[in-house]
Structure 1
Amino acid sequence: MSDVLTPGEARLQAMAAPEGEIAAATHTLVVGPYLARQAARGEASRSTEARLDEAAGLAAAIELDVVETIAVSIQRIRPSTYLGKGRVEELAGLIKAQGLGLVVMDCALSPVQQRNLEKAWGAKVIDRTGLILEIFGRRASTREGTLQVEHAHLAYQRSRLVRSWTHLERQRGGFGFLGGPGETQIEADRRMIQERMTKIERELDGVTRTRGLHRTSRARVPYPIVALVGYTNAGKSTLFNTLTRAQVLAQDMLFATLDPTARATKLPHGETVILSDTVGFISELPTSLIAAFRATLEDVIEADILLHVRDVSHEDSAAQAEDVGGVLRELGIEASADRIIEVWNKADLLDEAERTRLLNLSGTGRSDRDSAAPVLVSALTGEGLPALIGRIEARIARQRSTFAVVLPPEDGAALHWLYENAEVLDRREEEGGTIHLAIRIAPEKEPRFLNRFGGAKRLHRAG
């Protein structure tokens, strides 16, 4: 794969201004145009305030200077401008009075709606899809993630080249919605976009083949995979860091993690698992971006256990859980699947009464480690993590047999093999040095175990 740019691509990249400088200088208005009838029909269980706060958080994720946020209740969507004429004029006055250069609309706009609003307001306009694409362009760091995001962004921009003053200015990252040389470049831009998309598709074919080889290689080391999923900013990366003692980026920021991160870690009984941190889901995620993180989502699909991490301190926690469930269903995973453990995170942010209520509803304090109830934790303070780890071990144990093994004191090699290849659940030594062990072993290692320890007694059969 070559990173050599064509003259046209080089020209586009050279024209792009530094992202941070543009963002800091871009005074932004965030508008939440929400249909009033949705709440009446029960289609939107999250509050207007929370939706608007999330939209402002998305803008802040790429360091835009958000001057004001406004929620607008609308009865129906206007084909030409999305908002009604009166609202458009009202916002035009505000934009002019405050000298705003960018308006973020927390909805999906058609190219025509976007163009008409820009003309009416004299400011640049992006919708929720465009904003998320910009965030993903900034955050993606793996080769595949970068290429997939760029491909999705190019497809999005291609439909919006009708604007008289918008031009594709991004090559790898950057603000595709800020500035441009004008109408005379439209046809040339379309050709360059298509050429670049074709080139990306060829490169992605190569990356996909390479990733397939890596996955096959990992399959030769058959550790259970535990994938963390959840709404963006639910605390997955903090939990991942705590469980693995890693230092993955963990910030109070939407989409802080976009590329898959995997670490091997040992559980208390000796079992090695691979923990995988994944991109946070979000409501109204552009479908084109699901493909952009295929590597992450494959980890989710193939995982032995899914930890669905929820921020139970958030007022819209239930609605966020529904959104995550919707994405999982798109991947062929039912939210009630046996391999899902629901993790109620951020217990440290709850008041005492709510914390007690959720603790009683959860399985955190129960003796049954194989319970289906959620586990209340604080990834930040470590509260509830022993119960969560116990739950993970119990789920893994369902598919594993346990055996009783007796070893003579001099067979150190056999003892070492068991500690390396199985979970040692119990160990007792007689006065003469004979060692009695209770071990649990993975199905793929069981034949080798039985071949070496023919006298072992089965205590529990997998399944």
Structure 2
Amino acid sequence: MLEKEKINFERTVLVGIVTQFQNEDKLKEYLDELAFLTFTAGGEVVKRFWQKLDRPNPKTFLGTGKMDEIHLFVKEHGISTVIFDDELSPSQQKNISKILDCKVLDRTNLILDIFAQRAETSYARTQVELAQCQYLLPRLSGMWTHLERQKGGIGLRGPGETEIETDRRIVRDRIALLKDKIRTIDKQMAVQRSNRGAMVRVALVGYTNVGKSTLMNAVGKSDVFVENKLFATLDTTVRKVVVKNLPFLLSDTVGFIRKLPTQLIESFKSTLDEVREADLLLHVVDISHPDFEEHIESVNQILTDIKSSDKPTLMIFNKIDAYQHDSIAEDDLTTERTRKHYTLEEWKQTWMSHLGEDHTIFISATEKANFEEFREKVYEAVRKIHITRFPYNKFLFPDYKDAVENA
């Protein structure tokens, strides 16, 4: 079975650039992530190409020599797909496809393809299709390869342009239809959210593949799909959770990623509304990932973009069971001590200490390590919101008056 899957993997090549804003180390991180995205989509990365440039070539993204080198490799090794780490303009994608004579994708296109694979519900499929149509519209002319034979002349001018314009009209109509459909579903979901009663809403947010769904299953006793791939969960799952005597709503949301396509932010607006309307955010971080600090920055940037950065937040540093650090011998006086040498205890003394002990928790969702501490801190955070926002409940909060004064 495994051999069959390997045969079906598309042989791919990854391409990136080093610029004044992105050094070699940063490019390697991005290409590592792009390789994981490619694996998630069903591709096998055969080779990576990169080039140092002040800025991308406006016509072909890379220089002529590098494009010839990639073309030769593609031809000799039977490569079916070339994936660029940055978003290509419609003209760049058209020019590159002509040169390489194979399928050319960019990071945005790849993420959209993964979302299309992962969409389970009608709503998620509608959101993904809208994003795909918005991405496709300006690229239609470049995708009509069967029109390349038109060199002008009698009888060869009008029909091609008419066909492209017809397709553009079809896609525009489809976008309008999908937007209407999403607006209708958004209204229904808004009513559902308003009918959830006077319960505090807690949303799990974080980079993709940090363990949000695993945590959701462990806390909410739900059955959310979990897989060690990017964007395993697209549909928002909401569960009622009770910690001690306090009920609240916990939602699992789509994972964020660096260079998240703007089309997805727009089409997944309603999914992100779960974050916007949440009273408390649980920002889950994969502490075992070498780039976890940059993942935090990416998530915080998206939270800022959707105007949710000022919400009460607990930082949940997950996967402590998988955390590893490089060690330095006591007599080693040549090796410089960097972040990769920090133990978990040393990390807690860095910028994390400024977050406050009440707002940071180190756990393992799979091993359920430190889960009692996690439940206690979530309970306290939810309780603080509840007693200041909702009517007095003497059964839940017999010490209500004292709690309000101390909140």
TM-score over 0.5 (shorter chain) = yes
1:321 to 281, 289, 296: 296
The equivalent position to 2:201 in structure 1, one of 222, 225, 228, is: 225
Q: Does 1:246 align with 2:222?
A: yes
Matched, 1:264 2:240: yes
Aligned to 1:139: 118
1:398 pairs with 2:373: no
C-alpha deviation, 1:384, in angstroms:
1.7
Aligned partner of residue 37 in structure 1, secondary structure: coil
Q: Following the alignment from structure 1 to structure 2, what is the Cα–Cα distance between the partners of residues 332 and 284?
A: 18
The offset of 1:285, in angstroms, is 0.6
Paired residues of 2:239 and 2:249 also in contact (CA < 8 A):
yes
> What residue number does 1:171 align with?
none
2:74 counterpart of 1:95: yes
Distance in 1 separating the partners of 2:214 and 2:173: 40
Task: Look up the SS of the partner of 1:378 in the other structure.
Answer: coil
CA distance in structure 2 between the aligned counterparts of 1:273 and 1:355, rounded to whole angstroms = 39
Deviations 1:386-440 (A, max 9, x none): 1111111111232455xxxxxxxxxxxxxxxxxxxxxxxxxxxxxxxxxxxxxxx
Matches within 5 A, 1:342-381: 342-351=315-324, 357-359=343-345, 361-362=347-348, 371-381=357-367
Change (3 A) 1:157 1:356: closer
- Residue 295 (1) aligns with residue 267 (2): no
The residue number in structure 2 matching 1:11 is: none
Q: In the aligned structure 2, how far is the partner of 1:321 from the partner of 1:215? A: 28
Paired residue type of 1:343: I
Higher Cα Rg, which structure = 1
CA contact (8 A) 1:312 1:347 kept: yes
Residue matched to 2:391: 445
Identity of aligned residues (%): 33
Structure 1 position 459 matched with structure 2 position 402: yes
Q: Secondary structure of 1:256's match?
A: coil
Pairwise CA distance, 1:162: 1.4
Give the alignment of 1:304-319 within 5 angstroms: 304-319=279-294
- Matched residues in 2 for 1:331 and 1:288: separation? 14
- Matched with 2:337 is none
Distance 2:292 2:399 in 1: 48
Aligned length: 371
Alignment of 1:173-252 (within 5 A): 185-218=163-196, 221-252=197-228
Q: Is the 8 A contact 2:41 2:114 kept in 1?
A: yes
- Tell me if the contact between 1:133 and 1:153 (Cα under 8 Å) persists in the aligned partners: yes
Shift of 1:362: 4.1
| Conserved 8 A contact 2:9-2:42 | no
Rounded to whole Å, the distance in 2 between the matches of 1:146 and 1:248 is: 18
Contact 2:279 2:385 in 1 (8 A): no
The residue number in structure 2 matching 1:276 is: 251
CA distance in structure 2 between the partners assigned to 1:324 and 1:34 by the alignment:
24
Letter in 2 for 1:328: L
| Structure 1 position 148, deviation (Å) | 2.0
Q: Is residue 361–residue 373 contact of structure 1 (8 Å, CA) maintained in 2?
A: no
- For residues 332 and 245 of structure 1, what CA distance do their matches in structure 2 show? 30
- Change in CA separation of 1:456 and 1:112 when aligned onto 2, cut-off 3 Å: closer
1:126 positional shift:
0.9
Q: Deviations over 1:132-174 (max 9, x none)?
A: 111111212233322122112112111111125469xxxxxxx
- The answer to whether the Cα contact below 8 Å between 2:208 and 2:254 also exists between their aligned partners in 1 is yes
Partner Cα distance (2:279, 2:358) in 1: 16
Match of 2:33 in 1: 54
Q: Give 1:68's aligned residue.
A: 47
Moved more, 92-101 or 240-249: 240-249
CA distance in 1: counterparts of 2:255 and 2:269, whole angstroms: 13
| TM-score (norm: length of structure 2) | 0.83
- How far off its partner does 1:80 sit? 0.3
Per-residue CA distance 1:250-299 (angstroms, 9 max, x = gap): 111011111101111111x2111211111110111111211222232111
Shift of 1:338: 6.0
Whole-Å Cα distance in 2 between the matches of residues 296 and 156 of structure 1? 19
Please give the secondary structure, in 2, of the residue aligned with 1:134.
helix
Q: Distance in 2 between matches of 1:162 and 1:356?
A: 52
Q: Is contact 2:137-2:171 (8 Å) kept?
A: yes
Q: Deviations over 1:197-254 (max 9, x none)?
A: 2221222222122112212211xx2221111111111111111111122221111101
The question of whether the paired residues in 1 share the 8 Å contact of 2:204 and 2:284 is answered with yes
Give the structure-1-normalised TM-score.
Answer: 0.73
Given the superposition, is the C-alpha separation of residues 160 and 254 from structure 1 closer, same or farther in structure 2, using an over 3 Å criterion? same
8 Å contact from structure 2 (residues 216, 222) kept in 1: yes
State the distance in 2 between where 1:137 and 1:213 align.
27
Q: Distance in 1 between matches of 2:57 and 2:399?
A: 73
Residue identity in the other structure for 1:346: K
The 1:260–1:253 alpha-carbon spacing in structure 2 relative to 1, beyond 3 Å, is same
The one of the two structures with greater contact order (alpha-carbon pairs below 8 A, sep at least 6) is: 2
Paired residues of 2:59 and 2:92 also in contact (CA < 8 A) = yes
RMSD value over aligned CA atoms? Answer: 3.0
Report if the CA contact (8 A) 2:11-2:80 is conserved.
yes
2:18 is aligned, of 35, 59, 65, to 35
**The 10-residue stretch of structure 1 (234-243 or 353-362) with the greater mean CA deviation from structure 2:** 353-362
